[in-house]
């Protein structure tokens, strides 16, 4: 189960890195704001994944 979370978390991290690079390389204010908004969404998704992993870890430790 954690392998799937880890893969998704890496995917989100890659998306954040791509958007950060986009911000650095782009002078258009609107595109930079859009990239920042996407980063915010991606970070929210990463936070949610980490919370889900925490719940899974706690439930596994309670069962064992």
Give the residue, 64 or 19, on which the prediction is more confident: 19
pTM above 0.75, yes or no: yes
pLDDT at position 51? 96
User: Cα–Cα distance between 12 and 29 in angstroms, integer?
Assistant: 23
Distances (CA, A) of 46 to 6, 7, 11: 10, 11, 10
The yes-or-no verdict on residue 29 having pLDDT over 70 is yes
pLDDT band of 62, cuts 50, 70, 90: confident
What average pLDDT score do residues 31-38 get?
97
pLDDT at position 48? 97
Which residues, 6+ apart, have CB-to-CB distance to 13 below 8 Å? 46
| Residue pair 22/31 in contact by the 8 Å Cβ criterion | yes
The yes-or-no verdict on residue 50 having pLDDT over 70 is yes
Token look-up 């995917």 returns 11
């Amino acid at each position: 189960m954690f392998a799937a979370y880890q893969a998704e978390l890496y995917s989100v991290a890659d998306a954040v890195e791509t958007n950060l690079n986009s911000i650095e390389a782009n002078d258009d204010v609107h595109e930079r704001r859009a990239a920042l908004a996407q980063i915010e969404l991606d970070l929210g998704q990463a936070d949610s994944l980490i919370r889900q992993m925490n719940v899974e870890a706690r439930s596994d430790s309670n069962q064992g």
